[in-house]
Chains A and B, each alone.
Chain A
Amino acid sequence: MVSATRSLLCAALPVLATSRQATGAPVANELRCQCLQTVAGIHFKNIQSLKVMPPGPHCTQTEVIATLKNGREACLDPEAPMVQKIVQKMLKGVPK
């Protein structure tokens, strides 16, 4: 019994070390542009959430990424009037 618990303790320590290392790893932002192509607009009712990223050191252009209700992501053209309307509609909380 004593030897069994000792072997279990020895086996547990490496697992602890591994999980702690994984936890401590910093989550880096994307270091590049995420949108290669953009669409001018998609149907408002399909959008679940919207991510708006201003230009920065990682990317020189504004990026708008919509997460659809089916889980997919789509890049929208931030300059398209349709996209700006969609964003304003989102902020107003317009339901379906």
Chain B
Amino acid sequence: MGFRLRPTSSCTRASSLRNLQVLLSLLLVALVPLAVGKPDNNEPFIELRCRCTNTLSGIPLNSISRVNVFRPGAHCDNVEVIATLKNGKEVCLDPTAPMIKKIVKKILEGY
């Protein structure tokens, strides 16, 4: 009687543990898409840090789809100019570069 009970209990424990591991891995996978989706939600909010680590001093005017200018604030001490290109990429521009000021001016004039 003792020998018969032991193998059955070990089998059930092993199978339930494996199922739990599979379930946990699935949950972890489920978290990743949410993280990926976060950039979509960033539009209404301001990042709580500077976004631009490198800046460009010039890009072709006709490749620009949109330009966002962020004032310095509690989140970042720098002026940040982020251009969205027509291919969907985002690049940081140097706000002190004369070329950038010309680009923004031309956009305002409705080139």
Contact = CB atoms under 8 A, between A and B. Distances in A.
A56 B40 contact: no
Contact of A49 (B36, B69, B95, B104): B69
Interface in B51-81: 64-73, 78-79, 81
B33 interface: yes
A55 B79 CA distance: 24
15 contacts: A2-B12, A6-B19, A9-B19, A16-B26, A19-B34, A49-B68, A49-B69, A49-B71, A51-B68, A52-B107, A54-B111, A62-B109, A87-B69, A91-B104, A93-B95
A23 B30 CA distance: 11
Contacts, number: 112
A31 interface: no
Contact of A23 (B19, B37, B64): B37
A90 B69 contact: yes
